[in-house]
Amino acid sequence: MTEEALPALLIAVPILGATLPLALGLVRQRIGWWVATLVLAVEAAMASWIAYAVYIGGDRITHILGGETFGRKEVTVGSFDTEGFIVGIELVADALSGLLVALIAFVSLGVLAYARRAGPRQNTFYSAYLLLTGGLMGLVLTGDLFNMFVFLEIVGLMTYALVASDRSAASAVAALKYLVIGTTGASMYLVGVGYLFVRTGTLNMVDTSRVLAGEPEWLEVTGALYTEPLVVASFGFIAVGLATKTAIFPLHTWQPGAYSEAPDSVTVLISALVSTTSAYALARITWVVFTPEFFAVNVKATEAILVLAALSVVIGSVLAAMQQRVKRVFAYSSVAQFGLIAMAIGISVHPAATDTATRFAVYGVVIHLIGHAVIKGGLFATVGAIKKSTGARSIDEYAGLATERPVLSGTLAVLGFSLIGVPPMIGFVGKWYIGLAAVKAELWPLVFVIFASTLLTLLYVARLLEKLYFTPLSETTDTAQEPAVATDGRGSVSFGMVALAVTAAVLAVGLGFMGAELTDAIDPLVDAIQESSPEVHQ
Amino acid sequence: MVLESIPPFAIVLIAAVLVPVLPRRLGHAIGVLATGSVAAISLVIDEGTHLSGFELFGTFDVVIYNVDQFSRLMGLIFGFIAAVAVLYSYASDADSIQTAFALSYVGVSLGTVYAGDWLTLIFFWELMAVTSTLLVWHYGGDAVRSGFRYAMLHGIGGSLFLAAIVWHYANVGAVAFTGNGITGTVPATLAAIGIGVNVGFVGLHAWLPDTYPSPHLAASVFLCVYTTKTGVYGMYRAFPDGHIWIAYMGGAMAVFGAFAALLQSDMRRLLSYHIQSQVGYMIAGVGLAGGAIGHGGHDKYYDVLAAAGTFGHVFNHILYKGLLFMTVGVIIYRTGQESLDNIGGLGRKMPITAITFTIAALSIAGFPGFNGFVSKGMIIGAAHKKHLDILWYLLLLGGVGTFLSFIKLGYFAFIEGSYDGVVKDANIGQSVSMVSVAGLCVLFGLRPTLLFELLPFQGQYEYTTYTASHITEGLVLAGAGAIGFAVLRGPLHHIGRVPDIDSLYNRGFFYGGRVLIVAVTELYAFVDRVAVGLVRNSYWVGANPTLAVARTARYLPQSVRPSWDDEQPQADGGAPPRLYLRAGIGTSVLLLATVLTIVLLVVL
């Protein structure tokens, strides 16, 4: 077996594994966690292998499912093989997807340590959990536009199920809202892909990109299709669809409810991975399918992204600062952070961006995607652990908890500072590159927005930390007077829960020192984007 | 040879470290030995000896020790006078710590004059300001305040000089001495002002009479030597081709210093003004040292004469000014009085002091037969031959003023009046110090060729010290001084303290500083209020979103104002009601459709 089988296995193993908790559940209760751990351990090993092959070995690993290459050959950067095309589904692990594969594998394995005590404990939960992981892997690895829709739906359906998995009324409503809006968004994406298919006759990303550029000789096209209304409209549908899934303002309405009502383990997982992969999909399609050349002739499309992104950053931060429930604070914070990522995607293809600006913007997108996943996952893990041990949910209830829960409070502080972007943490590195890109592209309003977002982030993080560390415990008589809050949540916190939170905090600091390694890993991607090449080669 | 690899400043600095830990007698002996050996090394070491190959910050090639004809002369006289001054300190009950500070000051001054590049020079230059401030501070009392003012001014001057060097580096690309000094208009101006603080340009000089009279009497002997003379050396390094403005500034200093000195009663304050006056001659010499200055051109030797005269005057001045501070120090040591108003008629009681003082006074005034006559004559001669008549008259006038004020000092201290109480003459150590220096003053005055052999540019100029016209000039100046004193004798006594420029800028500094501090404090308080207010308001909005929206809504016109108050009951146990800003499912899908429509409209 060679590495070429890995992309398929990465998707197939968790999906097939998802059947086991249900099947084995017939003979034994509570076996789901063990099955999930085993499957995801295998998954993590495979992800490490593929990441090693991609980043150390310098390979671009492709796997074609049920199809024929029709003479398409591997080509090097810059020169197009205009001969063949692909029928069938291509899976691609390259410099962009490799990082995400590793992120998904390790985060989903890590969250299991948290879920062991935090629950839910039904076997069905772990089936859905594995299915979600498989869907996320597929979303990241696929090189096919329609296949991406399929995985988007798998991810969506499993997320709806997981959000509602604690069977409370509030979570059911949140899940229903998510289902309706998420499915509408996915449909928009499908409409966009449909338009593209009508015009280009292919669903493979690489082939679509080539047809759009007017390259292949086997298609009777005369030059690039970038200005055609069908193509432009398809970008609009795809962007809006994926923006909904990513929860960019004002399409975020499902997200705070889903995050705050879901069980804590689920919040950790989906906040770290679900919107992240949707943002990845938006970035990948923007860079690799439409390529900067599309945006060079459709400046309006870039500007639409930038305006939405900037609104998302500012309003998301303001809304976060207005919340009382801590989970909702961080939920709205994600709206702002994904606004930053969308902004960086916009800057990277903006015609005003120089080569350096594009480079920094791409660094910013990838690093902030990973950094935000670690930080936000860690924050929700900490918040969940605090709720479990003290029953505190709102900011007022956090008063003076620092003395009671020093480790968790310290974790919250470190992750909070990382979210603000205090050097040298990972949150700083990502934001720094995005800010630098905006400066290099001389898009001053965006520079201002990025700066303002830092201040607004400071506002809500400082409010939380002030309560934690500087407001005395005795002031909050509310907590003591409301046994209702205490009884439903109070309980012991497992080592796994604290360990996950602390690991995230350590990673948030440690990854900050690995900025150079990360940018080295992303460099091939930058080269490909700058040459508008549909394939990312090392 | 071992000598060549040991920079002189290292020897003195090692001694400075040893002095406070050793017994007082042994420590001072080592101080004398170390500084004396520096003088000896400077006499015998070959020009061109250098210690280089050090890289500072990985970019600057620095030469921490470099011997040429100028630094050799400076090293010789610095080492010699330091040895004498350490002996004098020992005899004048200076404690070991003070001598250690003094030796560190001597050490870094030697570092400055033996520096082979600008970076090393400014490094030691700044250290010189630090060590001399410590030397002043060590005495305590009023010296602390004047030391503080001294440090401020030298900090500013040093920074300007540093800025000049940085700019120079940016222009030239190297820190090593190029032989052309500091070039470029801005860096040259910065350098002139920065060094001008050290040499006491008129207007920048007030630290001199402010600081030098305040510390221990032995500390003054050190102070009067190094800072200003290193300044002259630095000025020559920075402006080897002279500058006419610098020459005139020298003339102005010579006159201003001499006549300001005339108005003083405090003996050391009087001497301090004379430092400015004498350094004025040297600065005039530096200014004249270029072939392009005045008449004469490059084919003549006048510029070389001015440069040699400058260094000769540095050399002589250190001898007689050190001697003057030593003799005045002895008077203060024996009587405890600082002011001429409180003493008098000491000549018969302290013959050695009186005689050595007379020698020093005649030297500084430039009386024929004493060393000041030789070197001052060279500078005045250069100004004369370059036909810079105004400068020439200024320098002559400065000479008259010098005569006047030293006749005043000598007359009121040693001749006129009487002093009650028992006064002994200088003790053995002090006498040895004073007599040896006085002997050199006479020796170099009577045998100028001995001096010429030590000076730079040996043999490149012609100067005969004892010509009829030179001697006449010296005697006329002396006569004018004597007549002037006879006329002004009454008014010159009991003048009281005359304000100098520093009373102006000390006040300006004080009130300006107050305004600045108050302004900064108020600004900070304002920013603080605004920031705290902003945070408090943000908190309030965060805590009471409903009230905030309701209050904001009051500013809207009635027609569009939402009716929050009806829907949201306010009296909820005092807790603010929750604000429902959440979009329902239907609204969300509508939003999605709207956004899509807008995006498509924009894009298409």
Rounded-to-integer distance, Cα B86 and Cα B108, Å = 16
Inter-chain residue contact A304 with B538, CB threshold 8 Å: no
Q: Write phi, then psi, for B581 (nearest 5 degrees).
A: -100, 15
Tell me whether residues B599 and A298 touch, CB distance under 8 A: no
Q: For residue B602, give the nearest of A181, A257, A300 by CB distance.
A: A300
Residues of B in contact with A250 (CB under 8 A): 591, 595
Closest residue in A to B548 (Cα) is A322
Domain ranges of chain B: 1-235, 241-498, 500-529
Band (pLDDT 50/70/90 cuts) for residue A71 is low
pLDDT score for A187: 92
Gap between the Cα atoms of B495 and A72, Å rounded: 107
pLDDT higher than 60, residue A80: no
Q: Of the given ranges (A478-482, B11-15, B145-149, B415-419), which has the lowest mean pLDDT?
A: A478-482
Q: Tokens for B301? A: 């030797």
A538 in a domain, yes or no?
no
Give A67's pLDDT tier (boundaries 50, 70, 90). low
Euclidean distance between CA atoms A294 and B581, whole angstroms: 38
Closest CB to A298 among B578, B592, B603: B603
In chain A, which residue's Cα lies nearest the Cα of B549?
A322
Angstrom distance (rounded) from CA A149 to CA B128: 76
**DSSP single-letter state for residue A512:** G
All residues of chain B having their beta carbon less than 8 Å from the beta carbon of residue A232 are 603-604
Q: Which chain B residues have a beta carbon less than 8 Å from that of A463?
A: 539, 542
Peptide bond before residue A424 is cis, with ω within 30 degrees of 0: yes
Test A233 with B539 for CB contact under 8 angstroms: no
Contacts of A322 in chain B (CB under 8 A): 541-542, 545, 579
**Rounded to an integer, what distance in angstroms lies between the CA atom of residue B172 and that of residue B170?**
6
pLDDT at A517 over 90: no
Q: A250, B542: Cβ pair inside 8 Å?
A: no
User: Residue A181 and residue B583: Cβ atoms within 8 Å?
Assistant: no
Strands (DSSP E) found in B411-554:
none
Statement: residue A475 has pLDDT above 60: no
Comparing CB atoms, the residue among A244, A304, A323 nearest residue B602 is A304
Going by the DSSP 8-state scheme, the letter that residue A437 receives in this structure is: H
Residue B323 has pLDDT above 50, yes or no: yes
Of A232, A253, A323, the CB nearest to B583: A253
- pLDDT the model gives residue B58: 52
Identify the closest residue of chain A to B575 by CA–CA distance. Answer: A478
Instruction: Tell me the C-alpha distance between B227 and B157, whole Å.
Output: 12
Sort out which chain B residues have CB atoms less than 8 A from A256's CB and list them. Answer: 582
How many of the other CB atoms lie within 10 Å of CB of B244? 16
B603: nearest CB among A236, A243, A459: A236
Question: What is each CA distance from B114 to A151, B41, B83, in whole angstroms?
Answer: 78, 12, 18
Find chain A residues with C-beta within 8 A of B584's C-beta.
177
Average pLDDT over residues B313-336: 90
Identify all chain A residues contacting B591, using CB atoms and an 8 Å cutoff. 250-251, 253
Cβ neighbourhood burial of B265 (10 Å; 0-12, 13-18, 19+):
buried
Q: Does some domain include residue A338?
A: yes
pLDDT digits (tens, 9 = 90+) for B485-501: 888 877 776 666 666 76
Of all helices (H) and strands (E), which one includes residue A492?
none
With contact defined as beta carbons under 8 Å apart, do B110 and B78 qualify?
Answer: yes
**8 Å CB contact of A298 and B539:** no
Are the C-beta atoms of B27 and B96 separated by less than 8 Å?
yes
Which residues of B fall below an 8 Å CB-CB distance to A? 535, 538-539, 541-542, 545, 578-579, 581-585, 587-589, 591-592, 595-596, 599-600, 602-604
What pLDDT does B232 receive?
92
pLDDT of B340-390, one tens digit each?
A: 888 888 888 888 889 999 999 999 988 888 988 989 888 888 888 888 888
Could you tell me the pTM of the whole model?
0.56
**Tokens 């069908």 map to which residue?**
A230
Most confident of A71-75, A122-126, B550-554, B568-572: A122-126
Predicted confidence (pLDDT) at residue B568 exceeds the cutoff of 50 = no
Query: Hey, are the CB atoms on A463 and B582 less than 8 Å from each other?
Result: no
Per DSSP, helices labelled H in A351-443 are 355-390, 401-404, 406-420, 426-440
pLDDT tier, A135 (very low <50, low <70, confident <90, very high otherwise): very high
| Mean pLDDT, all residues of chain A | 84
- Say if residue B300's pLDDT is above 80: no
Give B-chain residues touching A243 at CB under 8 angstroms.
595
Cα dihedral: A18, A19, A20, A25 (round 10) = 110
How high is the mean pLDDT of chain B? Answer: 83
What integer pLDDT is reported at residue B561 of this predicted model?
Answer: 55
CA distance A76 to chain B (A): 33
* A459 closest CB neighbour out of B538, B581, B595: B538
Q: Is the pLDDT of residue A403 over 70?
A: yes
CA B575 to chain centre: 69
ipTM above 0.85, yes or no: no
Give the one of A251, A256, A298 whose C-beta lies nearest to B592's C-beta: A251
- Report chain A residues whose CB lies below 8 A from the CB of B542: 321-323, 460, 463
Number of domains within chain A: 1
- Residues A337-363 have a mean pLDDT of 90
From B539, B588, B592, residue closest to A463, measured CB to CB: B539
Among partner residues B545, B592, B600, which is closest to A244 by beta-carbon distance?
B592
Structure-token pair, residue B599: 């995006």
The answer to whether the Cα torsion of B395, B401, B403, B406 is positive or negative is: negative
Strand partners, B302: none
Question: Does position B573 have pLDDT exceeding 70, yes or no?
Answer: no
Nearest to B124 by CA among B213, B80, B214, B63: B63
Output helix, strand, coil percentages for chain B, rounded to the nearest 5.
Answer: 70, 0, 25
Please choose, from the candidates A455, A278, A447, A285, the residue with its C-alpha nearest in 3D space to the C-alpha of residue A372.
A278
**A13-17, A477-481, B186-190: range with lowest mean pLDDT:** A477-481
Contacts of A317 in chain B (CB under 8 A): none
Instruction: Tell me whether residues A253 and B603 touch, CB distance under 8 A.
Output: no
> Does the structure show a pLDDT above 90 at A310?
yes
Averaged over A260-289, what is the pLDDT? 91
Residue B365 burial (CB count, 10 A): 27
Task: Say if residues A404 and A390 touch (Cβ distance below 8 Å).
Answer: yes
Question: What's the gap in Å between the CA of A304 and the closest CA on chain B?
Answer: 7
Residues of chain A with Cβ-Cβ distance to B587 below 8 Å are 253
- Partner residue opposite A181 with nearest CB, options B535, B578, B589: B589
CB contact under 8 A, A251 and B589: no
Q: Is the pLDDT of residue A125 over 70?
A: yes
Q: Using an 8 Å CB-CB cutoff, list residues of chain A that contact chain B.
A: 176-177, 180-181, 184-185, 188, 229, 232-233, 235-237, 239-240, 243-244, 250-251, 253-254, 256-257, 298, 300-301, 303-304, 308, 319, 321-324, 459-460, 463
Q: How many CB pairs under 8 A join A and B?
A: 75
Least reliable range by pLDDT among A123-137, A144-158, B190-204, B336-350: B336-350
Give the residue-averaged pLDDT of B105-116. Answer: 91
Q: Are A341 and A293 in contact (CB under 8 A)?
A: no
Residue A269, domain extent: 3-530
Helices (H) and strands (E) in chain A, counts: 23, 2
Residue B156 scores a pLDDT above 90: no
N residues, chain A: 538
Is there a contact between B308 and B457 (Cβ–Cβ < 8 Å)?
yes
CB contact (8 A) between residue A232 and residue B539: no
Min Cα distance A322 → chain B (Å) is 4
Nearest to A226 by CA among A189, A206, A200: A200
B139 SS3 class: coil
Contact list, B602 vs chain A (CB under 8 Å): 300, 303-304
Which pLDDT belongs to residue A218? 61
